[in-house]
Amino acid sequence: MKKIHIIGIVIIAVAIGAIFTTLNNTSTYASFTEAANEPGNEFHVVGKRDKEKEMVYEPKVDANKFTFFMTDNKGKECKVILHKNKPQDFEHSEQIVLIGKMKMPENEFEASDILMKCPSKYNDGKPQASN
């Protein structure tokens, strides 16, 4: 066997390893309902902030706790406890991705991280007359 063949085999083995571990090391995009079916598993839930319901952030009590309500893309609403500071631009967020687990039976989503899409940052704003 030539050295190049050995190298080839090693490459293929490592590449297959990379593919499999990568596929196993993922979370899943899901709805609140699916997350509730498997509490304890980590999910990514995409949705929109419920603008009607109250948000609670009291940094003086706990700077790393922020509570709000989110409606997922299937229309289900859920209380969310984010164990982080309230993102500064939260009010402007259009779309939210939460990373975390559903806590049962309280039916609260315990999020350890949040990603926000603020369309305002990239393409919002209509032309306005200034003075």
Give the binding range for another protein (CB under 8 A) out of 48-56, 70-78, 82-90: 82-90
Do residues 99 and 44 make contact, with C-beta atoms less than 8 angstroms apart? yes
Q: Minimum Å distance from CB 55 to another protein?
A: 13
Do residues 69 and 80 make contact, with C-beta atoms less than 8 angstroms apart? yes
For the segment 14-73, give every residue that binds another protein (CB under 8 A): 14-15, 18-19, 21-23, 25-30, 42-44, 46, 57, 59-65
Distance CA 45, CA 99 (A): 7
H or E, element range at 97: strand 95-103
Report if residue 94 touches another protein, rule: CB under 8 A. no
Do residues 94 and 121 make contact, with C-beta atoms less than 8 angstroms apart? no
User: Tokens 């009291």 — which residue?
Assistant: 58
- Chain contacts with another protein (rule: CB under 8 A): 2-4, 7, 11, 14-15, 18-19, 21-23, 25-30, 42-44, 46, 57, 59-65, 83-86, 88-89, 92, 95, 97, 99, 110, 112-113, 115, 117-118, 120-131
